[in-house]
Structure 1
Amino acid sequence: MPAWAETIRNLCASLFLGVSLAGSAGAQTSDLVSNNALRVCADPANYPMSSKEETGFENKLAELVAAKLDLPVQYTWYPMATGFIRNTLRAKQCDVVMGYAQGHELVLNTNHYFTSVYTLIVAQEGDLASVQSLTDPALKGQRIGIVAGTPPAAHLARNGLIGKSKAYNLVVDRRHESPASDMLDDLTAGVIDAAVLWGPLGGPLVKTDYPGLKVIPLIKEELPPRLFYRITMGVRQGEKVWQRQLNSLIRRNQDEINALLVEAGVPLVTDLGTEVMEISN
């Protein structure tokens, strides 16, 4: 969810509990996974991904998985910042992180269940509505909101757009500060002319709260760093049995997962980040 490189690489999260491939709540595994509940560790204030009110799309995904496993959902809440994995998953307070970028060593990744991309967000009827890439000359001289330290910042710098950009904090306690919402509020108020946000953050927020804005997936950037990421569920290192169970669940229920994400407003792209996936909901 979710807009932020490190948030994506290190923090994004949700959890799933252990049970059998067939979904039996009484099944046992060799891993240290509860068989009484789907124990999910999540940020209590990371809407639209997760929230203590359980309104985020990762909360709904947890409900879907728990239903397939015939288990209740049980949360351990912890701010998605430094120490999140250490104090939740590694401390065995939970058994799965719902959203985690593929390839990070802090967790054992499942197979990815969606791929998304950073987006450019502009006024739906404005002069920038036809822009498709950060290389577009129409962005010259524009005030662009960017989360500091995220991959798109390198693209803004390369294209001479960083000078007038407005930076928003990357790692924050979202109970007190919401960079994504602050950025979209500034865009609506005319403080900035465009916003660059991680798609699973920007897409759902625009869908629910900012109807006058347009979300443009940045799939046409040809130079590094890449702007798309494959999102997995994260489990404890070494828990291969649990990982395989979740892989099977993802494979068997991919269509329902896709529909849930599309309904939430998450922009989905192909595995190589080159095309937007057209999925009806």
Structure 2
Amino acid sequence: MPAWAEKYQRLVVTLLLGFCLAGSAGAQTSDLVSSKALRVCADPANYPMSTRDEDGYENKLAELVGAKLELPVQYTWFPMATGFVRNTLNAKRCDLIIGYAQGHELVLNTNHYFTSVYTIIVPQDSDLADVKSLADPALKGRKLGIIAGTPPSAHLARHGLIAKAKAYNLVVDRRVENPAIDMLDDLSAGEIDAAVLWGPLGGPLVKSSYPGFKVIPLISEQSPPRLFFRITMGVRLGEKVWQRNLNSLIRRNQDEINSLLVDAGVPLVTDLGTEVLEISN
């Protein structure tokens, strides 16, 4: 056989071997996702989002996804703090995180299924009930609750509100500490004048347990950092087929997802965070 033919033959074999290995690797990646159950990674004590009793709205979203896929839902529980993704999704103990901010590098994001925004929460009979922005002069001299390190902190500092603010911990084990509930309890007790909370936390908590409060989405802030975020489902890096399947499911069932979120009390806004979406159940 001529030398050029031998080289050509070796090249073909090498390419075929490469294709086979690539196909095998793809199959192995796909095989990580269970075909017998929807395996969900979740915090066991993150009410109103997820709980071990499965009464959070993310639990209901998981049930919706499982029903559409005709799969039972199984949970791997782990506190949503440092190490959550490493010890759940990346440890291959589960295949899906129901709620994850768009653009996070630790997971592969699906298309976003809702956009929400930070809110300011005040008593309905308060003289702050008409506040629309953290720049409102009515907030001067008031004591606001804020989760330390969250985007609204920069706005409070810009408007001279941070000195009197009461800070609550950001990264906690919610089995022993719940900063959002602590903040709303302090608002009830009059220890703070208003609470600044992520809408998907504050809205459902107010709807379920604090009927005397008003939730005001902060859609009028003009300066950075932005206060609205798009929320996706998170899957393991590289699992594009699983991601595409979920994207299709979200698209086909968006109305049902919206209804579930609105029923829970989650404030929904447009993709650019400029308007509140009015969605009837």
Is the TM-score greater than 0.5?
Answer: yes
DSSP-derived class of the 1:112 partner? coil
- Is this contact kept in 2: 1:29–1:241, CA < 8 A? no
1:85-96 equivalences in 2 (<5 Å): 85-96=85-96
- 1:212 paired to 2:212: yes
C-alpha deviation, 1:30, in angstroms: 3.0
- Is this contact kept in 1: 2:29–2:238, CA < 8 A? no
- Is this contact kept in 2: 1:31–1:241, CA < 8 A? no
Aligned AA (1:67): A
Match of 1:237 in 2: 237
Give the Cα separation in 1 of the matches to 2:121 and 2:31. 43
- 1:142 paired to 2:136: no
Given the two structures, how large is their TM-score scaled by the length of structure 1? 0.89
1:136-175 equivalences in 2 (<5 Å): 136-175=136-175
1:53-132 equivalences in 2 (<5 Å): 53-132=53-132
Aligned AA (1:186): D
User: 5+ unaligned residues in a row in structure 2: which ranges?
Assistant: 1-27
- Is this contact kept in 2: 1:152–1:196, CA < 8 A? yes
Give the Cα separation in 2 of the matches to 1:87 and 1:143. 38
DSSP-derived class of the 1:30 partner? helix
- Is this contact kept in 2: 1:31–1:242, CA < 8 A? no
State which structure, 1 or 2, has the greater radius of gyration over its C-alpha atoms. 2
Aligned AA (1:131): V
- 1:280 paired to 2:280: yes
Match of 2:46 in 1: 46
Give the Cα separation in 2 of the matches to 1:191 and 1:134. 19
User: 5+ unaligned residues in a row in structure 1: which ranges?
Assistant: 1-27
Aligned AA (1:112): H
C-alpha deviation, 1:52, in angstroms: 0.3
Match of 1:24 in 2: none
Give the Cα separation in 2 of the matches to 1:114 and 1:230. 6
Give the Cα separation in 2 of the matches to 1:163 and 1:127. 21
Given the two structures, how large is their TM-score scaled by the length of structure 2? 0.89
- 1:202 paired to 2:206: no
- The structure whose residues are more often helix, as a share, is 2
Aligned AA (1:185): D
Give the Cα separation in 1 of the matches to 2:175 and 2:91. 23
Aligned AA (2:178): S
Give the Cα separation in 2 of the matches to 1:241 and 1:271. 25
Task: Work out the percentage of aligned pairs sharing the same amino acid.
Answer: 81
C-alpha deviation, 1:29, in angstroms: 8.3
- Is this contact kept in 1: 2:29–2:239, CA < 8 A? no
Give the Cα separation in 2 of the matches to 1:173 and 1:29. 31
Give the Cα separation in 2 of the matches to 1:199 and 1:128. 18
Match of 2:18 in 1: none
- Is this contact kept in 2: 1:121–1:213, CA < 8 A? yes
